């Protein structure tokens, strides 16, 4: 006998200890025909207040249907002569692809790592045995600032990946394709079935080395070809991944921060924008001293490769610091490659680490407080702070290998860190550094307006007891 849904809901309410009468049950049963309502009409009803307050996750978009890439024999040949064999699950190209072989100890976040521009030119080895089990989300999903919700750039940045066990069958509400399908779409080779423990042990003992992925699976050809392996660190990788023109994120913020793009992760932009800043992203070699816009703060982003190729950026930072001499300074904050750029501008030297620090579990000690934080890292070079630089001091130090994890000026608002405070993926122990930086930006902006009341009109301003003739500037 048909029952009205509304009456069923009434019956579902908690019952009292009193016995329900037969007549009450009969009243809940109707002889009227059941009212069949479409799902669309039900969705148009006013939702429950609690349900309405919850935001549903973004609906993923499915890319064009593609079959799982074919499996075929593949191998990784190291420049030191060792060969590791496995099975291809990514792009099935027969052409060999070379790069610097590095490893990450991160347990999750393979999509974020693979789209991190700092991995440009590298073959990434995952120490986590099982990779691919939650698939790959849609690249169409964006946050309120128009940034990728799930990726750190617009494409896969590493040249290839090596895993122990690839999960072709994935499960996640946001996934729209498998890791293998994603790699195939971007032409990225991927090998499964490799003894990654043996490979990482080798890399830790001998240091990061060059390597080549081949789909032939022929050990004789791979080991004895003698073909030179391309060294990605022999060129300026930051110039390849940096933006070619200015663009703005979060127009209308209370402060305007210039971000020098050496290969920026999108979550760095998000961390600044969600704290109320307008972020103007400029190319890696952009000279801010010649920019008609007067920025309230400057961020030097992360990026790939050898910092010795960043001479142009270092010179621009030196010029910016020199321009602020005797004036209200513009706060500067560097991240990863930005730490090395600021360090070289200050007078420090850099060096290549044996195998670098890449993962989500690197401990760093704040030398100003003694507090230890767990950080996300991805770098193969570091600052040599064994020689003191006047006016500067180490900021953070790695608790594992004692390498430098940041520097700061002892008086002026200039600081940088080698790790990634924005994480994504990784722990959020240090995202407070964005608050510290933007607090400085706002404080110095207020002080600049107080001391230079006609600053924006470009008239003479009294600074430090001297009259300084200022050129006309445009306020963004």
Distance (Å, whole) CA 282 – CA 279: 10
Is there a contact between 303 and 118 (Cβ–Cβ < 8 Å)?
Answer: yes
Q: Which residues does the annotation mark as catalytic?
A: 336, 420, 422
Nearest 5°: the CA angle 67, 69, 75 is 175
* CA distances, 40 to each of 35, 44, 45, 58, 173 (Å): 15, 6, 9, 19, 22
Distance (Å, whole) CA 43 – CA 7: 20
Q: Name the DSSP class of 258.
A: E
DSSP E strands in 52-96: the ranges are: 73-78, 83-88
The two three-digit tokens of residue 192, written as one number = 């499964």
* CA distances, 432 to each of 272, 366, 429 (Å): 11, 13, 8
**Among candidate residues 105, 115, 120, the one with its CA nearest the CA of residue 337:** 120
> φ, ψ for residue 42 (rounded to 5)?
-65, -35
Q: At what angle do helices 311-323 and 337-346 cross, to 10 degrees?
A: 60
Distance (Å, whole) CA 206 – CA 416: 30
């Amino acid at each position: 006998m048909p029952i009205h849904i509304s009456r069923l809901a009434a019956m579902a309410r908690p019952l009292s200890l009193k016995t329900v009468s037969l007549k009450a049950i009969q009243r809940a049963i109707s002889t009227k025909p059941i009212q069949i309502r479409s799902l669309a009409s039900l969705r148009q009803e006013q939702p429950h207040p609690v349900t309405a307050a919850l935001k549903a996750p973004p609906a993923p978009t499915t890319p064009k249907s593609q079959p799982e890439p074919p499996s075929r024999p593949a191998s990784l040949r190291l420049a030191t002569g060792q060969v590791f064999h496995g099975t291809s699950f990514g792009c099935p190209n027969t052409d060999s692809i070379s790069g610097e072989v590095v490893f990450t100890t991160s347990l999750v976040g393979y999509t974020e790592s693979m789209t991190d521009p700092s991995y440009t030119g590298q073959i990434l080895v995952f120490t986590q045995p099982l990779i691919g089990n939650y698939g790959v989300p849609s690249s169409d999903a964006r946050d309120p600032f128009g940034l990728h919700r799930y990726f750190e750039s617009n494409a896969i940045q590493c040249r290839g990946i090596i895993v122990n066990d690839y999960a072709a069958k994935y499960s996640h509400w946001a996934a729209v394709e498998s890791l293998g399908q994603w790699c195939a779409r971007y032409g990225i080779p991927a090998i499964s079935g490799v003894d990654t423990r043996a490979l990482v042990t080798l890399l830790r003992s001998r240091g990061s080395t060059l390597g080549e992925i081949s789909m032939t699976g022929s050990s004789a050809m791979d080991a004895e070809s003698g073909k030179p392996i391309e060294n990605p660190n022999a060129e300026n990788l930051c110039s390849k991944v940096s933006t070619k023109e200015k663009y703005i994120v979060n127009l209308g913020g209370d402060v305007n921060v210039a971000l020098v793009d050496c290969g920026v992760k999108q979550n760095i932009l998000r961390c600044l924008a969600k704290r109320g800043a307008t972020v103007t992203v400029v190319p890696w070699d952009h000279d801010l001293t010649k920019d008609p816009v007067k920025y309230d703060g400057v961020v030097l982003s992360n990026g790939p490769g050898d910092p010795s190729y960043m001479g142009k950026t270092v010179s621009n930072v030196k010029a910016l610091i020199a321009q602020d001499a005797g004036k209200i300074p513009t706060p500067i904050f560097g991240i990863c490659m930005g730490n090395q750029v600021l360090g070289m501008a200050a007078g420090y030297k850099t060096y290549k680490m044996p195998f670098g620090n890449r993962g989500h579990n690197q401990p760093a000690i704040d030398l100003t407080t003694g507090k230890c934080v767990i950080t996300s890292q991805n770098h193969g070079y570091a600052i040599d702070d064994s020689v003191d630089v006047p006016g500067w001091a180490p900021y953070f130090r790695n608790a594992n290998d004692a390498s430098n994890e940041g520097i700061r000026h002892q008086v002026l608002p200039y600081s940088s860190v080698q790790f990634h405070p924005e994480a994504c993926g990784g722990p959020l122990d240090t995202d407070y550094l964005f608050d510290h930086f933007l607090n400085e930006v706002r404080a110095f902006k207020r002080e600049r307006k107080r001391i230079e009341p006609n600053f924006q009109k470009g008239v003479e301003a009294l600074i430090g007891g001297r009259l300084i003739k200022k050129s006309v500037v445009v306020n963004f």
